[in-house]
A and B are shown apart, each in its own frame.
Chain A
Amino acid sequence: MKKYLTIIFIILFSGLILAADALYLPNLGSSARMIALGNIDGFSRSSNAIFENPACLYRINNYSASIFATKLFDEVSYKSLSFGVRTDYGVFALGYMAAEVSGIPHTGLAISGNNNRSFFVDYYFKYDNWLAKLGHQLTLFENVYIGTALNYYENSMDGYKGRGFNMDTGAFLDWQPVQISVVFKNIMYFSDLYYSNKDDPEYSGVEHFPFQTVVTGIYNWGDFNILAQVKRTSDQPKLLKSLGLHYSPWFLKLFNLYGGYKEYYSLQNISNVYTIGVGLDLFDVEFNYAYEKSDHFEFDNNSYFSLSINF
């Protein structure tokens, strides 16, 4: 019996011991609004909630569509699209998020007569990383919502391809003036991202999906919303904290001001950055802009725009 338990334990956790955690695209943010609020999950009013907490899809009345695109330091193109619809069986949503980099050199080694070495470019290849989500939200009790999302991941570069799937689940409690969002991302710890190479049948690689626990508290105080979040990721030893402030003046409800503070890992240490943003709610259409400082040497700041339509 003990032997079987050991074998089961090894099978279940072997990947956990050997593999690294994969890049999780939604860490960038799913909208300018979210980024402006310090990457706080659970405050989205549109279909892009599927990338944060699927329980927050409850805010969709009929239909919702959201688009977000940006290019970081002129190299990495990010885009996300999402769509949600309310039905008699709850809210359903679809989401797509992708990152793309082109012009990556595949290199070779040249050695001349005197053992002089140099590298050369064979050809250039492209990197594609995308994630598709199918989400569903239900109302459990009055003001208590739950949601789940199935995730499919695909990652490809130069003949190497990784594929895998996982799942998120979350809950949202709306007890005004206090709201609480709890979400667990990539909960299927036994499901990994498996890599192969069509040109090299002997190659195999595996990465874990980072398991994330995110808890957010929101307090409504007049025209202000005060947000606080803690995030724990399986590959990082410490909690990451975020704070956000949202102000929408009573005399101009269509105008929104955002401020945020977030922590992130850099060089294995926790760094932080302040964010600001503005938003405009024109009836069913929501425009948002976010700004944050960057620690990139050449590009000191990042700007983000997003658009959402709720009808």
Chain B
Amino acid sequence: MKKVCILIAITALFCVSLQARMSVQRISFNTYINNGAKDIDKLYTGSKRVSLVKNKGKVISKRDLYKISPAKSGRKSSSFKANKVAMLQASIPSLMYVEPSLETNDANNNPELIGIPLAYPNPFSLNKNIGRAKDKDGNLYVGTRIGYELSIDMDMRLIVYDMLGHKVYEQYFEAGQEPGGAAGWNEVPFDRDCVGGFDLPSGIYFFLLIYEGDVLGRGKMAVIP
């Protein structure tokens, strides 16, 4: 009888501790993705630069997680595919207790680039206006503007390389900074001032847009004399 009591007590203790553990991890999917993605990185790799989650030989980037998060409000339907949750659960055991949320109002909190970043005008010159390119105030400008749309305010890093892979420009934009790190449409100027007042040799230049070590977008621009 005494043994049975001890067994019941141990079982009850185990159930209570398991429930407590489940309640800790029982957070909404959106919350986990939006606020907990860093925890996933730390938990699995601790790698800040690449921000990867490695499991079962598969490599899942933070961007992949965002891709299968609920659709953004006003863009797609709010339906969240159950099979995607299952896929995520299968690939990341720690998300076994995550409940998918069907809320759409907070879905825009995913830090992502909407569409592909482009430079306008392209080709462009650092000495003359090409194609009567005008800024939003209607002023003609020399050089180009790198345009991209951000889903939320976020820290962004812009790097421009030449054809040999050498850096010619690097700029950091803080979350909310306009232009560069603000939610919505951003037009970042790229002109002679960006390269120390010098002219760049004509040719192709490559830019990367980086958020927390992940390349969110890349593009090419052509410089003419």
Instruction: Please give the residue numbers on chain A whose beta carbons come within 8 Å of chain B beta carbons, in ascending order.
Output: 19-23, 27-28, 72-73, 75-76, 99, 101, 103-109, 115-121, 125, 127, 129, 155, 157-158, 160, 162, 193, 195, 205-207, 235, 264-268, 271, 294-299, 302
Q: How far apart are A269's CB and chain B's nearest CB, in angstroms?
A: 10
- State whether A160 touches B123 (Cβ < 8 A): yes
- Are the CB atoms of A297 and B210 closer together than 8 Å? yes
Chain B residues, Cβ within 8 Å of A109: 120, 133
List residues of chain A with CB within 8 A of the CB of B196: 268
| Distance in angstroms between the alpha carbons of A234 and B154 in the assembled complex | 41
B136 touches A266 (CB 8 A): no
A117 to B120, CA, bound (A): 11
Q: Give the distance in Å from the alpha carbon of A302 to the alpha carbon of B161 in the complex.
A: 15
Q: Across the interface, do A117 and B159 meet the contact criterion of CB distance under 8 Å?
A: no
- Let me know if A129 and B225 touch, CB within 8 A: no
Check A105/B220 contact, CB under 8 A, given A22-B201, A27-B164, A267-B168: yes
| B contact residues around A99 at 8 Å (CB) | 163
Say whether B201 contacts A207, CB under 8 Å. Answer: yes
Q: State the CA gap A112–B164 with chains docked (Å).
A: 38
Assess whether A23 is in contact with B163, with CB atoms less than 8 Å apart.
yes
Q: Does B70 contact A (CB under 8 A)?
A: no
Contact B206 A73 (CB under 8 A): yes
Instruction: Give Cα distance in the complex from A103 to B210, angstroms.
Output: 21
A21-B201 contact given A107-B121, A119-B118, A127-B222, CB 8 Å threshold:
yes
Task: Compute the total of residue contacts between A and B using a CB distance below 8 Å.
Answer: 130
Contacts of B210 in A (CB 8 A): 297
- Chain B residues whose CB sits within 8 angstroms of the CB of A106 once the complex forms: 122-123
- How far is it, in angstroms, between the C-alpha of A300 and the C-alpha of B225 when the chains are bound? 30
Q: In the complex, are the beta carbons of B165 and A294 less than 8 A apart?
A: yes
Q: 8 other contacts beyond A21-B199, A72-B164, A101-B163, with CB at 8 A cut-off? A: A104-B221, A105-B220, A116-B185, A118-B115, A118-B185, A119-B147, A268-B198, A296-B161
- Complex CA–CA separation, A125 to B208 (angstroms): 20
Q: How far is the CB of A301 from chain B (nearest CB, A)?
A: 10
Q: Is B170 an interface residue (CB 8 A)?
A: yes
Whether A23 and B201, one on each chain, are in contact in the complex, defined by CB atoms closer than 8 angstroms, is: yes
Closest Cβ of chain A to B48, distance in Å, is 14
- The answer to whether A107 and B164 have CB atoms under 8 Å apart is no
A107 engages B120 (CB within 8 Å): yes
Q: Mask for B185-225, Cβ within 8 A of A = 1, else 0?
A: 10100000001101111111010101000010001111011
Q: What is the minimal beta-carbon distance from A295 to any residue of chain B, in angstroms?
A: 6
Ordered nearest first, which 5 A-B pairs have the shortest CB separation? A20-B199, A205-B225, A23-B201, A119-B118, A119-B120
Complex contact B201–A118 (CB within 8 A):
no
Contact B199 A158 (CB under 8 A): no
B-side residues, CB < 8 A to A, are 115, 118-123, 125-126, 133, 136, 145, 147, 149, 159, 161-170, 185, 187, 195-196, 198-204, 206, 208, 210, 215, 219-222, 224-225
Verify B225–A107 contact, CB threshold 8 A: no
Contact partner of A267 among B133, B136, B169, B224, CB < 8 A? Answer: B169
Q: How far is the CB of B63 from chain A (nearest CB, A)?
A: 14
Rounded to whole Å, the gap between the CB of A286 and the closest CB of chain B is: 24
Task: Kindly report which residue of chain A lies nearest to residue B134, judged by CB atoms.
Answer: A109
Contacts A119-B147, A267-B169: A129 and B203 contacting too (C-beta < 8 A)? yes
Contact A298 B208 (CB under 8 A): yes
Decide: A205 near B125, CB < 8 A? Known: A118-B185, A162-B225, A295-B165. Answer: yes
6 CB contacts below 8 A, A to B, read: A105-B220, A117-B147, A157-B123, A158-B123, A266-B168, A302-B165
CB neighbours of B119 from chain A (8 A): 107, 119
Docked CA distance A20–B224 (Å):
11
Question: Nearest chain B CB to A121's CB is how many angstroms away?
Answer: 7
Instruction: Write the nearest CB–CB distance from B198 to chain A, whole angstroms.
Output: 7
Contacts of B206 in A (CB 8 A): 73, 75
Chain B CB within 10 A, most for which of A103, A104, A207: A104
* B112 vs chain A, min Cβ distance (A): 16
Checking B115, B145, B164, B222 against A104 with a beta-carbon cut-off of 8 angstroms, the contacting residue is B222
Per a CB cutoff under 8 Å, which of A75, A117, A264, A271 touches B187?
A: A117
A240 to chain B: closest CB distance in Å? Answer: 12
Q: Report the minimal beta-carbon distance from B120 to chain A, rounded to whole angstroms.
A: 4
The closest CB in chain A to the CB of B159 belongs to: A297
Across the interface, do B122 and A101 meet the contact criterion of CB distance under 8 Å? no
Which residues of B have CB within 8 Å of A298?
A: 208, 215
Q: A149–B119 Cα gap in the complex (Å)? A: 38
- Asked whether A101 lies within 8 Å of B220 as measured between CB atoms, the reply is yes
Are B118's CB and A105's CB within 8 A?
A: yes
Bound CA span A35–B201, Å: 22
Q: Give bound CA distance, A125 to B221, whole Å.
A: 11
Q: How far is the CB of A263 from chain B (nearest CB, A)?
A: 12
Q: Nearest Cβ in chain B — how far from A75, in angstroms?
A: 6
